[in-house]
């Protein structure tokens, strides 16, 4: 395939970002169709990036448009499953932002549809495995530098969230990245989880318990503690330290100049998620474009989306029960054993 013609459903923050990178940064793709519930928003983005594209009448017409080779699903999480299933039915490649679906049963439906179709068509927007920091960590784990892995200490902090963000979203919207990347990093599976609620911050609204501490146990006995703190106020920060028998590897700080001024040494912290993984998003989307072009997707698959959702589901049960909850996983279809 020469140029991959892409249709985008959901032109919000990340939808626009992926359109910008396809039209201004990456190669081999063009944006040809857009759909958003808010038509003005789609038209504004066409004008802003001078796209040679049209606004589709519906998401379904965009998916079935013969002039669209591949679909980006970047709408709200609850809408993903229906569009991914429609794309699979149409035989179209689909890049779906996280989460693949908001329920485990919808993820199972997507997995079953892809297996039935007999062709890999789905890539999930888990971009952290494309991040150079995480890739360096994985190399040090895989080459034995730190010996057998014993523990992981991680944190996912946002300065603030809106008042529609609830306690469960700390798992399904935020922690979901760690659920995917740690499994990939450790090459291990999660078997059980516990969620603890420390003293809550006074700035979270009444429907949100914040922060939360998630304890994950893996098949090989590794324990990972992950802090999710979405009203930390001071900035956006992702931490990950992997402790082994012989040493530790940790994510580097996001690069920022060290300023000496007025009797102090200081370093700026990012205030939101957009720049933290900007290079990883570029690599992720270029990999999708290349995969569509040569007929072989390589990025996180629907099975990875399912595993993250099934682990998130156990976390949600643990939030309510306060107990250690098992992670139950269906048996992996041979289709995903690659």
Which residues lie near ligand NAD (CB under 6 A)? 9-15, 35-38, 41, 59, 74-77, 79, 97-98, 125, 127, 173, 273
> Least distance from C-beta 135 to ligand NAD, angstroms?
17
Among 252, 155, 240, residue whose Cα is nearest residue 198: 155
Kindly list the strands in the beta sheet with 54-55, ordered across the sheet, starting from the edge strand earlier in the chain: 54-55, 29-35, 4-9, 70-73, 93-97, 122-125
> Least distance from C-beta 1 to ligand NAD, angstroms?
25
- Residue with CB nearest ligand ISE? 273
Q: How far is CA 103 from each of CA 62, 165, 175, 251, rounded to the nearest angstrom?
A: 25, 17, 15, 31
Among 198, 192, 195, residue whose Cα is nearest residue 168: 195
Question: How far, in Å, CA of 216 to CA of 226, rounded?
Answer: 8
Instruction: Give the one residue of 123, 158, 172, 283 binding ligand ISE; rule: CB under 6 A.
Output: 158
> Least distance from C-beta 323 to ligand NAD, angstroms?
28
Question: How far, in Å, CA of 204 to CA of 211, rounded?
Answer: 9
Asked if 273 touches ligand ISE (CB under 6 A), the answer is yes
Site string (173-202) toward ligand ISE, x via CB under 6 A: xx--x-------------------------
Question: How far, in Å, CA of 54 to CA of 46, rounded?
Answer: 8
Pairing of the two strands 212-218 and 190-196 = antiparallel
> Least distance from C-beta 221 to ligand ISE, angstroms?
28
Q: In this chain, which stretch among 19-27, 172-180, 201-209, 215-223 interacts with ligand ISE, using CB under 6 A?
A: 172-180
Asked if 18 touches ligand ISE (CB under 6 A), the answer is no
Q: What distance lies between CA 277 and its chain's CA centroid?
A: 11
Q: Which residue, 9 or 141, has its beta carbon nearer to ligand NAD?
A: 9
> Omega of the bond prior to 99 within 30 degrees of 0, cis?
yes
Contact of residue 18 among ligand NAD, ligand ISE, none (CB under 5-8 Å per partner type): none
> Least distance from C-beta 243 to ligand NAD, angstroms?
26
Contact of residue 158 among ligand NAD, ligand ISE, none (CB under 5-8 Å per partner type): ligand ISE
Count of C-beta atoms within a 10 Å radius of residue 33:
23
> Least distance from C-beta 336 to ligand NAD, angstroms?
21
| Contacting residues toward ligand ISE, per CB under 6 A | 158, 173-174, 177, 273
């Amino acid at each position: 395939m020469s140029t991959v013609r892409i249709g985008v459903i959901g032109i919000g923050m990340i939808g626009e970002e992926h359109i910008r990178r396809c039209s201004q940064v990456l190669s081999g793709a063009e944006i040809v169709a857009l759909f958003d519930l808010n038509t003005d928003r789609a038209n504004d983005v066409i004008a802003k990036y001078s796209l040679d594209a049209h606004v589709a009448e519906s998401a379904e017409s965009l998916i079935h448009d013969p002039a669209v080779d591949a679909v980006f699903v970047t709408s709200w999480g609850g809408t993903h499953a229906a569009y991914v299933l429609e794309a699979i039915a149409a035989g179209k490649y689909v890049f779906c932002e996280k989460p693949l679906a908001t329920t485990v049963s919808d993820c199972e439906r997507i997995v079953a549809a892809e297996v039935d179709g007999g062709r890999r068509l789905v890539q999930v927007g888990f971009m952290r495995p494309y991040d150079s920091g995480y890739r360096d960590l994985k190399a040090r784990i895989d080459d034995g530098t730190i010996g057998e892995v014993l523990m992981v200490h991680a944190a996912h902090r946002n300065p603030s969230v809106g008042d529609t963000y609830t306690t469960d979203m700390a798992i399904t919207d935020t922690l979901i990245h760690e659920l995917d990347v740690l499994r990939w990093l450790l090459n291990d599976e999660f078997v059980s989880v516990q969620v603890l609620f420390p003293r809550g911050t006074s700035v979270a609204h009444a429907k949100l318990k914040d922060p939360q501490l998630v304890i994950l146990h893996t098949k090989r006995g590794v324990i990972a503690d992950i802090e999710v703190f979405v009203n930390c106020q001071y900035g956006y920060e992702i931490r990950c330290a992997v402790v082994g028998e012989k040493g530790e590897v940790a994510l580097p700080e996001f690069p920022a100049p060290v300023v000496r001024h007025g009797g102090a040494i200081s370093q700026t912290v990012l205030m939101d998620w957009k720049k933290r993984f900007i290079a990883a998003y570029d690599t992720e989307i270029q990999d999708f474009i290349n995969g569509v072009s040569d007929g072989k997707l390589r990025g996180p698959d629907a099975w990875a989306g399912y595993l993250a959702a099934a682990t998130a589901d156990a976390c949600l049960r643990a939030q309510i029960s306060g107990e250690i909850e098992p992670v139950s996983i269906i048996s992996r279809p041979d289709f995903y054993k690659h």
